[in-house]
Structure 1
Amino acid sequence: MTNEEDVFTFQDTGHPDHLMSGLQELRKECRFSDVIICVGATEFPCHRVVLASASSYFKAMFSGELRESLATKIVIHSVSEDIMELLLEFSYTGKVGITFKNVEALLEAANLFQFGTVREACSRYLQQRIDASNVLGFHEFAEAHNCTELSELAKEFVIDNFLEVFQTSGEFLQVTQERLVEYISDVNLQIDKEEQVYESVMQWVRADVDNRYGILHKVLEHVRLPFINPRYLVAKVETEPLILSSPACMELVQEARRYHVFDYDRADNPNIRMKPRPCFDISEAMVVVGGCSGGDTKLAKVDCYDPKNNAWHTLSDLPEYNREGYRIVALGNDIYVTGTTDETITSDGCATTWKYSTQSDRWMTMAPMLKSYKCRATVVLHGQIYLLGGTDINGPVADVERYDPFSNSWEEVQSMIKAMNDFTVAACRGKLYVNGRSQGSEKILFQCFDPSTDTWNFIDNSVMPEWSQVPQSITLNGLIYYLRDDSKEVDAYDPIANQWVEVAPMKAMHSSGSVCVIDGKIFVSGGFGELAESNLIECYDPTYDKWAYSGSLPEPRCYHWCVSILKKVEHKDEEE
């Protein structure tokens, strides 16, 4: 007996092809057609149901309330007869012949009439034929027709092969200002040296100097002039008439010159031009110098930390690491150590200044400091090192010395108004700011030095936070951050507005730790935690006002110093 629910389903796998073949045959024979597509002098008899199935453009046209939904003839203007024949052929067969001659027109029409698969096929065809001579045109074409994949691939090709495109493509000099800026400002731009970017910009400007001279400075601000060779900057850039005649361009040149003579603070005035391009394999690194570990064991070791790769490597040991109260600063891309050589302080004694060269990984002696005071504070301002205060056999002193790296000499400058024996100093917006206590007083004093007038003055501290201990200070983005030594609290001071700013607290306490700025973030390391010495590193992102853990020191460490320098990236495969 047959089961009525026993169903055999037959499927003819060739049916779709037979159906499409039959429809195409009917189109060729002009049978059963219900609409005529008119392009120029050519008429194409078609079937609405086929066009509506192949194209959402035609589906909307035939199913809407437009007059074309009822018309037997539809005139189309924005396409050639040949291209329309290709699209209609595709509608009935699912096949289309793409050539280098028809691809752009076909893609444009496929985009207009919403043949998505044809558009993507044309895009892939162009992607396989991108080279330095045609990539700029392909990029513009892809952008105009919303071909995201082609656009991204074309831009990536330009970024990866910028010099070849600049030298090969005849279209380079015709790109718009916006497109040129898009290329040269891309973080992944691949070049051998920054001079290549500068030369491409100048050649682009000279190609239409009457219309482009006025916008030269807007394009030039995306060239990282500080990383152009100083000799080239003087010989080529500063002598270029188009640059010399533009005050805005000369400001950018002077900015680069200040960087070359160390008169620019990357942390105080963050600027994309002050950051080396990733293709140069140079990044900001933290150098941790000396300190103590495991109690009173003094360390001579110097470690370098790459935050991006969370990797450590060692540098040459610190000379005279047993000296008392030494201080560390970075000037240019070198590190300077100042402080006394031992606990004996004489009225006319001198202490050695050491410099670490990042290029040679060597320490060398420089001109000695004028006076050997203990516990002096050190800071860099306008490319010079300031050495402030300290103590001698009679107590705290207000003396200030200044070091010029180009003459390798120290000089005395105007002393502080009040001597302090517990204080911190920071350079911000062209001035020095000193917070601390004078001997025998619990009151926090706030002194400011203006080098342009060589004068000190007191700042009203009536709204200053209450500190039981003077905190560490660091400058970032025009604010001075004070990291408390006895808690997780952080305070920030805006010297321009003379206001205090609320800041999120650290995740852990870092008493006698160290702090520096790397890539626009504050990094604090080591010190004493709530229970013991710590090896934790955490960083503060001012954009989000948040602290986060960011690696750890090689060992717990306190009383150390850290600074940031630019250093060649150490790749793991190179180390191995």
Structure 2
Amino acid sequence: MASCKQDQCVQSVGNQSHLSRLSSGLNQLRHQAAFCDVNIIVGDQRFPAHKAVLSCASDYFQGMFSSGFQESTMSEITVPGTEESFAQILDFAYTGYFNLSLRTVTGIFQMACYMVIPEAMDLCAEYLREVKDSFTIEDCYEIWSITSNHSSLADVAQLYRRYLVENFSKCVQSKVFLENSSASVMLDILSDEDIETDNTTEEQILRGTVTWLKYDWEQRKVHAVDLLKKIRLGLVPVDRLHKLLGDELLAIPECKDIVEEVVKLSVTMDTASPPLIKSHPELFATRNTITASLEEDYDDTSTAPVVLFKCKTETACYKMTKLADIPNRYPYSDEKVSAVGAFVSNENQLYAAIDVGYNGKDREDSRNHDKWLLANNFFQYMPETNEWILLPPIPVRILGYPKMFHIKEYIYMIGECEVSKECKDMIQRFHIHSKSWEILVDDLLFHTLYAILLTTGQILVTGRQERAGPNPDGSRYGGFCVPVVALYKPTTNELLHVHVDISVDITLHEDTFFMEHDNNYYLVTQGNHKEPDQVNRVICDFNSDRPTMVIGDVVEIKTVDTRRQFHQEFTFDKRKLGLVQVPCECESHVKKGEAKME
């Protein structure tokens, strides 16, 4: 046998049964009140215990017994809570086990949080995650109140906050909620996009808000205006709006002004162009309506586009996860094909126009491909079945990325097309109900760079036109381009030339476009990673038969993401198209589940 020195060949050994016997022995001593040096009084009951065990299990007791407080020398200490909850916590301190049920978990969880016993908190949290749909509103509100103050329990807080949000109409029937919920909690809930469900309408949300206000009117009436601004009042029937609010709220001047504005707008609901859901989303768009822009992201196996959504204050970011692939692969070859050209929405439906490029070398395949494309270039997404259906094809094949707009019962398409081997920019439209196409303008006479749908229901088209002759610098190479702007009026099918007065230095190129913001117009010239975007104010007169536009000096718009404005956007109901919420790094978003209880 090899020999070794005394300070070598050291081996740590142990016995788990010894720890179990020690724990069991200490617990038995507690029940016998043997060697106990403190009595914990909860309600009408005394619980003998050992300070050493309590200090090891609980940060609360460790601080109490080791920091020179007077409790460290006392033989009896009173703590808040119920006898039943503390008995379970004491069992856990000695054995590591306790019994949880729907009836007892709330009290035990609250006691574990109060005494700072992380392991007990984790076990309660795990149980609460599994049974989150089994509690009353009162229990859910209490659990949210407890967990929202602990960052380590944020996911549990989010679960129960979500339940309260989705059951808001039940919350305002609960005395516990009405008595204890603060104005900040109400504002947080009313700001949530998910408060409106299939079972909770905006009218019920308004009724519940009024109920909360009137529960303690004298103290809460100062919050009436702020809360009212969070409600989509345009979705509440006008004939019931005044009755629901009542004389007390309408006596507040600002509340009355808000309601009068809603009533005035509602009168023009059917004739408004564009629809009020777009011009006044804070009043007329359902909370499930999301503004989105679509971008493509292809991997080796899928042609499904990725949907990127605008970040707005107090909304969440979403990503489409169930959208089926658009059937845009060339059927005669496995060749990788190009991207989807454009999207547009209507009544929670998506429409896609595609231009599938063929990269093969075989001429016959190329001809077959072109024939196939002429018959397979326009699709509609069906959310009920998660599939794309083929619609009547676009009459004239589009090239590249057209601009598509939904105006009433039509989808308008503006873009470059191929006509007898020549490229022309055209305006075509698709009738949604009859599912038929018509050509409106067969040649814009200039290369379209950008087009936007104005709040007036008209389309502003920006382009450039090449002219022969010398360039402004005197050279003759290639001719030169001049900016061209046109205004298209869908109601009369008119395309009017816009006279542009440019008094500043502007270079028109593919990343230059017009933008409408807060009823003002701007010209944006996108810079690169070294140079910022340049924004010029534009003064427009589009009401006459000879529309004009004056491009002025550079201005600064800090609140608008001009690069996002470049992408075409649309709105739809997020519940209809298979969305899931994804983490967002947007600093403007409210952090859900972290509202502190007052």
Question: Would the alpha carbon gap of residues 199 and 250 (structure 1) be closer, same or farther in structure 2, given more than 3 Å must change?
Answer: farther
CA displacement, residues 338-393 of structure 1 (integer Å, 9 cap, x when unaligned): 899999xxxxxxxx975324x44824559x78x998449875433332678999xx
Match of 1:219 in 2: 227
Q: Which residue of 2 aligns with 1:355?
A: 429
* Alignment CA distance shift 1:75-1:237 (3 Å): same
Q: Is the 8 A contact 2:207 2:244 kept in 1?
A: no
Are residues 1:52 and 2:62 paired?
Answer: no
5+ long unaligned stretches in structure 2: 295-341, 344-351, 359-365, 382-386, 420-425, 469-481, 539-551, 580-598
For 1:204, give the aligned amino acid: T
SS of residue matched to 2:116:
coil
State the partner residue of 2:146: 142
**What SS does the aligned partner of 1:30 have?**
coil
Q: Which amino acid aligns with 1:151?
A: A
* Correspondence for 1:90: 92
Q: Which amino acid aligns with 1:201?
A: L
Check the 8 A contact 2:169/2:208 in 1, yes or no. Answer: no
Who is 1:385 aligned against? 458
Q: Which amino acid aligns with 1:385?
A: Q
Does the CA-based 8 Å contact 1:132-1:168 persist in structure 2?
Answer: no
Equivalent-residue separation in structure 2 for 1:112 and 1:57 (angstroms)? 8
The aligned residue for residue 179 of structure 1 is: 185
> Which structure dedicates a bigger proportion of its chain to helix?
2
Counterpart selection for 1:152 from 149, 158, 161: 158
Secondary structure at the counterpart of residue 201 of structure 2? helix
Identity of matched residues, %: 17
CA drift at 1:75: 2.5
Aligned ranges 1:109-128 → 2 under 5 Å: 109-127=111-129, 128=131
Q: Whole-Å Cα distance in 1 between the matches of residues 164 and 353 of structure 2?
A: 42
Where relative contact order (Cα < 8 A, 6+ residues apart) is larger, the structure is 2
The question of whether the paired residues in 1 share the 8 Å contact of 2:213 and 2:224 is answered with no
**TM-score normalised by L of structure 2:** 0.55
Gaps of 5+ in 1: 344-351, 419-433, 435-444, 447-459, 504-516, 524-562
Q: Does 1:200 align with 2:202?
A: no
Q: Which amino acid aligns with 1:492?
A: Q
Residue pairs, 1:550-565, within 5 angstroms: 564-565=569-570
Partner of 1:14, secondary structure, is helix
Q: Give the alignment partner of residue 537 of structure 2, picking from 478, 495, 518.
A: 495
Amino acid at match of 2:430: Y
Question: SS at the partner of 1:114?
Answer: coil
**1:31: Cα distance to partner?**
3.0
Normalised TM-score (structure 1): 0.57
User: Which residue does the alignment assign to 1:248?
Assistant: 258
| Compared CA separation, residues 257 and 121, structure 1 to 2 (3 A) | farther
Computed over aligned residues only, the root mean square deviation of the Cα atoms, in angstroms, reads 5.8
Deviation at 1:489, TM superposition (A): 8.3
Find the aligned partners of 1:271 and 1:92 in 2 and give their Cα distance. Answer: 58
Contact 1:108 1:145 in 2 (8 A): no
Query: What code does the residue aligned with 2:98 have?
Result: V
Number of aligned residues: 445
Q: Report 1:256-271 matches (<5 A).
A: 261-263=272-274
The equivalent of 1:513 in structure 2 is none
Q: Which among 393, 409, 418 is matched to residue 492 of structure 2?
A: 409
Once the two structures are superposed, residues 206-254 of structure 1 have per-residue CA deviations (whole angstroms, 9 ceiling, x without a partner) of 454446666455334444567x4xxx65555588655986223454676
1:205, CA displacement in angstroms?
Answer: 1.1
Aligned-partner SS, 1:26: helix
What SS class does the counterpart of residue 495 from structure 1 fall into?
strand
1:517-532 maps to which residues of 2 (within 5 A)?
520=564, 522-523=566-567
Measured after TM superposition, the shift of residue 27 of structure 1 is 2.7
Q: Secondary structure at the match of 1:319?
A: coil
In structure 2, C-alpha distance between the alignment counterparts of 1:74 and 1:208, rounded to whole Å: 45
Could you say what secondary structure the match of 1:493 adopts? strand
Deviation for aligned residue 1:126 = 4.5
- How far does residue 493 in structure 1 lie from its aligned partner after superposition? 1.2
Following TM superposition, by how much is the alpha carbon of 1:473 offset from its aligned partner in structure 2, in angstroms? 1.0
Is the 2:102–2:135 Cα contact (8 Å) retained in structure 1?
Answer: no
